[in-house]
Structure 1
């Protein structure tokens, strides 16, 4: 049984086909297209032609896509949503979507409601859920033709019953075709950020449905009958059905695919990964083979959220980065020719000096027509080479939490720009197939489930709380498509919340397993 992995980047869409032992049978790079979907089709076509395999042998297909990210950033193809907060009278001071950019609120529709209900930190009701008000809202939303709904409730991570009951009532009125996002399934502590994450999830349900449909159609066109998975931003997979429910989890999956691919290709579990693409360089840290998670709230398209995101530093350096001299100083990026590099870079017959041209002129690699850069000013080449090196070294220092040198793994097609010796690196590794580490990371990924809950240890014994959290994480992994026999706990974190009474503690658990056969 073969697997095909596709990863959509800002410049290139990469594809690989792996055998049962995770050996690379074929790999391909094609330019990312403006509609994204065409680039995916082209990548599938290219890797099939290179491999010569029978499409019927491919049983698994994994996609890492930027569809959801692009939709939020570009304000395109977003669903018309309603946000229902359960928290009256305790949460009337700040309305839902208050902090959102005005143009984004306009795109998703300013349909916001606050109803009576919610819970205290220890699970006790603040007030009973106003079910009649939920019914009235449901009838109103039916007339407004809302396409998706987000429901958030005070301390729903402790007690989600009001969110679940509100969803039941709305489904009775609206049917099962309108996606309903419950904030306790998406975000973490902090009502506003969790509510934002749920609302963003609801907003991108339509675009991910289109993306999944297009991927299925592309596979069918090539006679590939495979189970379809999408990559999550924690470096693991979820089934297409799970992705349709939680599309926001695909945001930032590209860098995490590269980190997982780098870990697999290098056999390093704890290292810094430098992923150089055509437009940007993403730097992240591997902890036990998985991306280190960000400990701070993350903004997406101008919206502050608190759902899990990888800890990534991005800088404007890539193969297509423009190189110019200003006031005697060499500047590289952040402007880039992106996927137009194959036409605009000097070595490809164009007239734009890019970072790739500098790499070729310095002798680091031989791409295109090296003769077109052999007469470049040597002083310019040396300064630009040093500038590229210092940009990467500064980013490495920023992401490290210790002054000790760490292994650095270079991946991505643009990593030819980076030298083999870097300050702060104990060693620099450029593994085989480094140029398609992202697609490999998608293809070899495991399936995971995660739980982030607050427990009152006055209400439940600590051992029981831990056992319950682990059970829930395993269940989530199985729902996401993992083989129950292979699921194991890969991350456990317990944080006592001293500022809350009731002996409260926050427990975060991640479980992961291999694909169901």
Structure 2
């Protein structure tokens, strides 16, 4: 019997799950997320292996969903010093790199940037003559000052040969130790948002290096030496550890997508709304044809506006540790503050002195944990008011995710899902599963390898079928680079968006594929 291990790091808990080769859950554990993240991963991995009592050498795959990159951006810590090289002079000098960025993150990255000649017009014509010597002079001036380079060409989503050429020059001038990120491989249409995403990707390479090295080290310490190692992407798929080191930004918001995938698997549904209730917050997303629905608008990451792919998620300040209070006007309030991972110390049912949503669930007889006598003094009326407030918060969030007025099927997962009432307006059916508390770790374990490619094609210059074939081939290449087996890759999504301002029928084409994991 072979096994897979999935680990997902949340804000409150780090969850680990072991699945057998038939994807049956063998064992799972929850451990408090540590401040340094790594030790929490070590503890969860150690516990799940010890308690499951399996042969570590039979583990063939290990998957990690981590908040490390998100935390690094939000906390402005462990980020690399980035040099930004934009190819479009003089047309874009009025809006320089780092425009509208929070100053505290700019101070960390160091404001090294240059706008050089190059780039393309929207129809593929050269904007200004590319000057190799100018590029070499800029890069030479950055020697010893930057740890990573973000290369951004105007309309590189249409034509990206200049970006790849500058990549080769950068490698020659700055050496192998400097990380290089190309905007055409990361973001979408929209210069500034794509540039921002590329800068963040470049800034995160040290964080991902440390995280991936730490995960491999933890596995080795536990005797898991034969496993293929993967990290979770934010579209509900996996990528190889080497691919993650090249595109660390793709791990941002992978936690909610793991939960959505895990919920879909547990419920046996490919279309539903998923509510993942943690200790501090709840994430609401939509599963569409088995994969998380992606956001169609630019997304703010740590105060920086970006346009790389992100899941369509609504987060609310409601969790199992959310603090319940009665306002002066008699109204009951829930959250957004929470006791978080200290719930076992601070909640009333566990002998603490803070009233939480979990205490309300205990008082109403929905769950048997802690000591129910310690919440017996809470009146039935107050408990019902608190539950009604929780229901209102959830109903409003679900309404924000709906695309039609009809009732939806809701899958409830996460360790705090018991606080959600059994009846909600706008919800036709609520599905809970006893394994839902570790749906995120299960989602990490069952995922396939993903590949995605996006480019602007001008259909007056290339036939649509030929463009689709080209994009599909390049998406397949991305999937194989991320660790998928050739021959198992399937097309799961095609998106075409015509560019209204272009006279020659230009279309932004996005293709997504998935494939099976490599086997040992």
| Interval containing the TM-score (normalised by the shorter chain) | over 0.9
Match of 1:354 in 2: 356
Match of 2:195 in 1: 195
Match of 1:204 in 2: 204
Q: What is the CA distance between 1:456 and its match in structure 2?
A: 1.1
SS in structure 1 of the partner of residue 15 of structure 2:
strand
Q: What is the CA distance between 1:142 and its match in structure 2?
A: 1.2
Match of 2:480 in 1: 478
SS in structure 1 of the partner of residue 275 of structure 2:
strand
Instruction: Could you list the structure 1 runs, at least 4 aligned residues long, displaced by more than 4 angstroms after superposition.
Output: none
Match of 1:413 in 2: 415
1-structure distance, mates of 2:19, 2:162: 45
Q: What is the CA distance between 1:3 and its match in structure 2?
A: 0.5
2-structure distance, mates of 1:22, 1:351: 41
Match of 1:455 in 2: 457
Match of 1:426 in 2: 428
- Bigger drift between 50-59 and 240-249 goes to 50-59
1:252 aligns with 2:253: yes
Match of 1:28 in 2: 29
Q: Deviations over 1:402-435 (max 9, x none)?
A: 0011110000000010122221112110024010
Match of 1:466 in 2: 468
Match of 2:283 in 1: 282
2-structure distance, mates of 1:430, 1:272: 12
2-structure distance, mates of 1:497, 1:95: 25
SS in structure 2 of the partner of residue 485 of structure 1:
coil
2-structure distance, mates of 1:140, 1:471: 38
2-structure distance, mates of 1:452, 1:420: 42
SS in structure 2 of the partner of residue 380 of structure 1:
helix
2:85·2:114 contact (CA, 8 Å) conserved in 1?
Answer: yes
- Bigger drift between 372-381 and 148-157 goes to 372-381
Match of 2:379 in 1: 377
2:65·2:254 contact (CA, 8 Å) conserved in 1?
Answer: yes
1:13·1:29 contact (CA, 8 Å) conserved in 2?
Answer: yes
1-structure distance, mates of 2:255, 2:292: 12
SS in structure 2 of the partner of residue 363 of structure 1:
coil
What RMSD over aligned residues (CA atoms) do the two structures have, in Å?
A: 0.9
1:220 aligns with 2:220: yes
SS in structure 2 of the partner of residue 484 of structure 1:
coil
Match of 2:265 in 1: 264
- Bigger drift between 340-349 and 148-157 goes to 340-349
SS in structure 2 of the partner of residue 88 of structure 1:
coil
Q: What is the CA distance between 1:502 and its match in structure 2?
A: 2.1
2:231·2:239 contact (CA, 8 Å) conserved in 1?
Answer: yes
Q: Deviations over 1:304-330 (max 9, x none)?
A: 000000000000000111111112111
2-structure distance, mates of 1:125, 1:96: 21
Q: Deviations over 1:12-38 (max 9, x none)?
A: 000000000000000000000111111
SS in structure 1 of the partner of residue 416 of structure 2:
helix
2-structure distance, mates of 1:44, 1:267: 27
| Ranges in structure 2 where 5+ consecutive residues have no aligned partner | none
1-structure distance, mates of 2:297, 2:428: 28
1:447·1:481 contact (CA, 8 Å) conserved in 2?
Answer: yes
1:122·1:455 contact (CA, 8 Å) conserved in 2?
Answer: no
Q: Deviations over 1:186-224 (max 9, x none)?
A: 000000000000001011111111111111111111011
- Bigger drift between 127-136 and 249-258 goes to 127-136
SS in structure 2 of the partner of residue 257 of structure 1:
helix
2-structure distance, mates of 1:143, 1:480: 31
1-structure distance, mates of 2:127, 2:459: 20
2:391·2:420 contact (CA, 8 Å) conserved in 1?
Answer: yes
TM-score (norm 1): 0.99
2-structure distance, mates of 1:240, 1:345: 39
Match of 1:18 in 2: 19
Match of 1:489 in 2: 491
Number of positions where the alignment pairs a residue of Structure 1 with one of Structure 2? 516
2-structure distance, mates of 1:342, 1:432: 20
2-structure distance, mates of 1:386, 1:258: 25
Match of 1:335 in 2: 337
1:293 aligns with 2:294: yes
Q: What is the CA distance between 1:66 and its match in structure 2?
A: 0.1
Q: What is the CA distance between 1:122 and its match in structure 2?
A: 2.3
1:235·1:290 contact (CA, 8 Å) conserved in 2?
Answer: yes
Q: What is the CA distance between 1:44 and its match in structure 2?
A: 0.4
Q: Deviations over 1:162-205 (max 9, x none)?
A: 11111110101112221100000000000000000000101111
1:261·1:439 contact (CA, 8 Å) conserved in 2?
Answer: yes
2:228·2:518 contact (CA, 8 Å) conserved in 1?
Answer: no
